[in-house]
Chains A and B, each alone.
Chain A
Amino acid sequence: MQSTMPGEITPTFDAQNETSLAGAQAEKPQRLTSLEIAHVLQPRFQGEWWPSPEAAEKPFRGEVVLLIPAEHIVSAAQALRDEFGFDYLSNLTASDYWPQLQPRFHVVYQFYSMSYNQRISLRVPLSDPDYELASIESIYPVANWHEREVFDMFGIRFNGHSDLRRILMPHDWVGHPLRKDYPLGYEEPQFTFNFDDIQVRKHKPGYEEA
């Protein structure tokens, strides 16, 4: 029943077993370092190096990060999965740079390759006023809830998402808490007896309705 593997990671599902890697018709992944992969992707998807152009030679703290335009995120994720074997979406989150509006948000993706133990990160800048980009749920099913969380917390819309509802906040909540212009605390607690009084003088962040 149980097989104890020796210490080293020897993926049992790597390139020899075609069906196990993301796409059956995928090209055989090349053994490039993640920095080399980023050098392949950068001209193809009009990427920029993040946080500075020097990251092309020496990545910041060893993490390879590419900034790519929103319209390319699906094809970039597809390429990462099918051509380079990044079969695991480790993390998806966002960061708000308010009051800066151009760009205001970065959506941050962390991809991981189980077979080659490599990480690569993509960032998608989003400028005022259309905070939307395509969902990568069809490529990485795990993105479903991560994208819902980003939508809930930042109000970034993912087009083509199957179920874009709030996930952590109540469904009738107004505003997106992790935006930098959303106030933290200092709110009077509302109970049934004073709900309306407080509701009137409550600070209402000027967001578009979610």
Chain B
Amino acid sequence: MTTQTEVTLNELKHLVSERALEGETVLLNMGPQHPSTHGVLRLLLELEGETVINCMPDIGFLHTGIEKNMEAKTYEKAEVMTDRMDYLNTVGNNLVYCLAIEKLAELDVPPRAQAIRVVLTELQRIASHLVWLGTHALDLAAMSTFLYCFREREMILDILEMCSGQRMMTTYIRPGGLWRDTPPEFEDAVRQFLRIFPARIAQYEALLTKNPIFLDRTRNIGVISAQDAIRWGMSGPSLRGSGVPFDLRKANPYSGYDQYEFDIPTATSGDIYGRYLVRMEEMRQSLRIIQQAMDRMPYGPVRSNNRKYVPPPRSELSTSMEAVIHHFKLWTEGFSLPKGAVYVPVESPRGELGCYLESDGSPKPHRVHFRTPSFVHLQVLPVLSRGHLVADLVGIIGSVDIVLGDADR
């Protein structure tokens, strides 16, 4: 074996306080295989008794080189990589990547495809919030919520499977529209979910919102002010929990979000409980959006007609030579985008998910970068956890809703 270097305390001297070097405070390693770190997150904690003086997150255990890999694939093939980043928001990852391609190519998306995109991303938002709620409550010792949340999440995964054939890694949204139209049973399944789910949210709230143990563990813990949250780049429900009504669905509407009526829930407390209230209300708002989108679902094609970017329908292949040529070109060489760079942000369940896409005019992306909310939120962890107990740190990690696949990419 070649020699392996180890990080010594000396190299981390600038991160810990003087007292750690004197041995007055304790350095403790938490993770990367700790159940409450929601994946493989390692935290180096500096403790005085049980109080966290400093916390140094160490990430990268799930780094899979997705950005590098995408540079070696054509635009269409690279899309499947995006599913694997934030595995609780796969539809949203596809969406931001496709929006970036569509912006660079100036490609129009038919209204029906846009409405279905909205329905699916909002369902995915609810599913992601359910996983967050279940695991967060589990961390704070409310066991049964987890089981109820996963029961409802299953309904959403069934809908995704119905559309795309996959429960999680859907790749259903494609540049220029969707892979194909939704199956006939889609509408019933979504309406069934819309009927059932409001009562279920009330159930979760009955379990937690006024539960004295839950209140003790969440109120006035992990507080961050609005100014600090902005300076530290927080976004999504974590920022809205501090009272900033910033939502990219309102600020830079995409996929026709401007046609739907919904509110941006905010809480003023900026603590774990505030972020909890915001996410609970967000699920209701998502239901409102889905309801409107289903009621106004337009008929028509679900893919752009631009054959330079979107493959022709199967039925044309046996009658049109043009279609065969386009099909062949798209599945061998792939399409090329105009030279240039765009940055497209969308509102993921966790916050601002941005895609920086740069093209050099070849069929492969020159550079793809994802600005992921979990990456940015993990950096705020020391600010949020300073002065709290180790037990509260678990709640704080849960409250910013991190997904390590999202942070490490």
Contacts and interface: CB of A to CB of B under 8 A. Distances in A.
Interface of A: 1-13, 19-20, 22, 51, 60-61, 63, 65, 87-91, 93, 95-96, 108, 110, 114, 117, 119, 121, 140-142, 144-145, 149, 153, 162-163, 165-172, 177-178, 182, 184-185, 192, 195-196, 199
Contact of B356 (A6, A110, A167, A170): A110
Contact of A11 (B14, B65, B245, B341): B245
Contacts of B354: 90-91, 110
B2 interface: yes
B306 interface: no
User: Closest 10 A-B residue pairs measured CB to CB?
Assistant: A142-B233, A168-B60, A91-B371, A93-B369, A168-B63, A95-B367, A5-B245, A145-B379, A172-B5, A2-B277
B231 A91 contact: no
Most buried by A among B69, B106, B379: B379
A162 B14 CA distance: 8
Interface string B34-73: 0000000000000000000000000110010101110110
A4 B230 contact: no
B233 A60 contact: no
Contacts of A117: 251-252
B352 A90 contact: yes
B297 to A, nearest CB: 22
Contact of A171 (B5, B262, B273, B342): B5
Contact of A141 (B232, B245, B250, B345): B232
Contacts of A169: 60, 63
Contacts of B14: 162-163
B207 interface: no
Nearest to B408: A168
A173 B106 CA distance: 40
Interface of B: 1-2, 4-5, 7, 11, 14-15, 59-60, 63, 65, 67-69, 71-72, 103-104, 106, 226-227, 230-233, 243-247, 250-252, 261-269, 273-274, 277-278, 281, 339-343, 345, 352, 354, 356, 358, 366-367, 369, 371, 375-376, 378-379, 408-409
B2 A195 contact: yes
B279 to A, nearest CB: 11
26 contacts: A1-B273, A2-B267, A4-B265, A5-B245, A5-B263, A5-B266, A6-B263, A19-B227, A51-B341, A90-B354, A90-B371, A91-B369, A91-B371, A93-B369, A95-B366, A108-B356, A117-B251, A117-B252, A121-B343, A153-B67, A167-B59, A169-B60, A172-B5, A178-B68, A195-B2, A196-B1
A63 B342 contact: yes
Contacts of A11: 244-246
B245 A108 contact: no
B225 to A, nearest CB: 9
A6 B345 CA distance: 22
From DSSP, what is the main secondary structure of chain A's interface residues? loop
Contact of A12 (B4, B245, B367, B378): B245
Most buried by A among B2, B278, B378: B2
Contacts of A140: 231, 233
Contacts of B227: 13, 19-20
Contacts of A114: 230, 244, 246
Nearest to B252: A117
A172 B246 CA distance: 40
A96 B230 contact: no
Contacts of A178: 67-68
A13 B266 contact: no
A2 B241 CA distance: 9
Contacts of B106: 61
Contact of B266 (A3, A163, A172): A3
Contact of B232 (A4, A61, A142): A142
